[in-house]
């Protein structure tokens, strides 16, 4: 494959992607709604297309890195006539449904979508240690593997264009709620005069869920919520202690209150002697 690529979208992520291609000697064509965001990349040898149409026509592989799929349509609808024959690596975050709809929309206009969910912040782009979920036509991923691997490693999930978005959003569900858990705990630490640096090693240990995930996953798949290692009654008692500590510290208690409410709903449905994994049955009703 020729080593050339179009990158559309120059937020922090798109800029890191274009820079990674330049680092590897690719010919890079850029387009961004705010043209000035291309300046530093143009200074390094990238070409700024004067229109969406020119950006699309410049290369077969088009990498999109935009805020959401509304932005994708706002841009591609400017030049649908230039879409036939393009492979669009759409690394824009949005829902699985929107990813599937966009794959159909592009196919109707003669283009192929590879959906991507990037699992790295911009500084990780260009490193094989970072990874991106991909889904969509396997032949398109195989054909552009080398170019996609310039950005990150590839975790290919299958032909369904929604899968990469689904895995990505599940990861973000865990990431955001987990990170709020960290911030909330640190708020209690800070309120008690313990700095983030001081608590760091303890936070890292507290946030290491590997043992628990590996213990629970096979049980979840087996439908076994046996309360031999933990149970919801114990969880309610434990979280009540947390809640009182939070309140005594003068910290906003909305997060543990919401979690306690969930635990209590589990108890109210007769699961007090079952593992907290039985909450899955409350959550998925």
167 sits in the region (left: phi over 0; alpha: psi -120 to 50; else beta) called: alpha
Given the complex with ligand NDP, which of 73 and 215 has the nearer CB atom?
73
Judging by beta carbons within 10 Å of its beta carbon (0-12, 13-18, 19+), is residue 265 exposed, middle or buried?
Answer: middle
Rounded Cα–Cα distance for residues 15 and 7 (Å): 9
Which 60-119 residues touch ligand NDP, going by CB under 6 A? Answer: 65-67, 71, 74-75, 92-93, 118
- Least separation in angstroms between residue 75's CB and ligand NDP is 5
The answer to whether 202 contacts ligand NDP (rule: CB under 6 A) is no
Given the complex with ligand NDP, which of 14 and 96 has the nearer CB atom?
14
The answer to whether 125 contacts ligand NDP (rule: CB under 6 A) is no
Given the complex with ligand NDP, which of 80 and 122 has the nearer CB atom?
122
What backbone phi and psi angles, to 5 degrees, belong to 177? Answer: -70, -35
Given the complex with ligand NDP, which of 34 and 284 has the nearer CB atom?
34
CB 141 within 8 A of CB 169: no
- Least separation in angstroms between residue 101's CB and ligand NDP is 16
Q: Which of these segments, 10-18, 140-148, 207-215, 226-234, binds ligand NDP (CB under 6 A)?
A: 10-18
- Least separation in angstroms between residue 68's CB and ligand NDP is 6
Task: Pick from 2, 23, 25, 33 the residue near ligand NDP by CB under 6 A.
Answer: 33
The answer to whether 260 contacts ligand NDP (rule: CB under 6 A) is no
Angle between helix axes 232-248 and 163-191 (nearest 10 degrees) is 50
Q: Which of these segments, 6-14, 19-27, 139-147, 201-209, binds ligand NDP (CB under 6 A)?
A: 6-14
Q: Which of these segments, 31-39, 184-192, 196-204, 233-241, binds ligand NDP (CB under 6 A)?
A: 31-39
- Residues 29, 34, 40, CA angle at the centre, nearest 5°? 55
Strand partners, 48: 30
- From residue 94, alpha-carbon distances to 50, 86, 99, 140, 169 in Å are 27, 21, 7, 21, 8
The answer to whether 37 contacts ligand NDP (rule: CB under 6 A) is yes
The answer to whether 121 contacts ligand NDP (rule: CB under 6 A) is yes
Quick one: three-class SS letters along 74-107? HHHCCCHHHCCCCEEEECCCCCHHHHHHHHHHHH
Rounded Cα–Cα distance for residues 114 and 134 (Å): 7
Query: In the complex, which residue's CB is closest to ligand NDP?
Result: 11
- Least separation in angstroms between residue 164's CB and ligand NDP is 12
Q: Residues in contact with ligand NDP, total (CB under 6 A)?
A: 21
State how beta strands 87-90 and 112-118 pair.
parallel
CB 15 within 8 A of CB 41: yes
> Which tokens is 164 given?
């990469």
- Least separation in angstroms between residue 123's CB and ligand NDP is 9
Using CB under 6 A, list all residues that contact ligand NDP.
Answer: 9-14, 32-34, 37, 65-67, 71, 74-75, 92-93, 118, 121-122
């Amino acid at each position: 494959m020729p080593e050339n690529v179009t990158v559309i979208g120059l937020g922090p992520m798109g800029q890191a992607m274009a820079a990674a291609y330049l680092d590897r000697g690719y010919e890079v064509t850029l387009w961004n709604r705010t043209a000035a965001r291309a300046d530093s990349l143009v200074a390094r040898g990238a070409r700024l297309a004067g229109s969406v149409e020119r950006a699309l026509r410049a290369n077969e592989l088009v990498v999109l890195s935009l805020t959401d799929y509304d932005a994708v349509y706002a841009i591609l609808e400017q030049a649908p006539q230039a879409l036939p024959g393009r492979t669009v690596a759409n690394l824009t975050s949005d829902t699985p449904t929107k990813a599937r709809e966009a794959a159909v929309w592009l196919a109707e206009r003669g283009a192929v979508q590879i959906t991507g969910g990037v699992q790295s912040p911009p500084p990780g782009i260009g490193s094989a240690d970072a990874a991106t979920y991909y889904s969509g036509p396997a032949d398109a991923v195989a054909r552009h593997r080398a170019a996609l691997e310039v950005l990150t490693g590839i975790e290919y999930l299958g032909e369904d264009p929604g899968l990469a978005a689904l895995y990505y959003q599940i990861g973000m569900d865990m990431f955001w709620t987990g990170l709020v858990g960290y911030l909330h705990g640190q708020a209690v630490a800070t309120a008690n005069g313990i700095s983030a640096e001081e608590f760091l090693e303890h936070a890292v240990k507290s946030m290491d869920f590997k043992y628990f995930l590996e213990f629970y996953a096979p049980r979840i798949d087996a439908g076994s919520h046996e309360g031999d290692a933990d149970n919801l009654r114990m969880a309610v008692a434990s979280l009540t202690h947390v809640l009182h500590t939070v309140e005594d510290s003068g910290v906003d208690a909305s997060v543990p209150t919401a979690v306690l409410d969930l635990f209590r709903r589990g108890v109210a449905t007769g699961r007090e002697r079952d593992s907290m994994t039985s909450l899955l049955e409350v959550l998925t009703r």
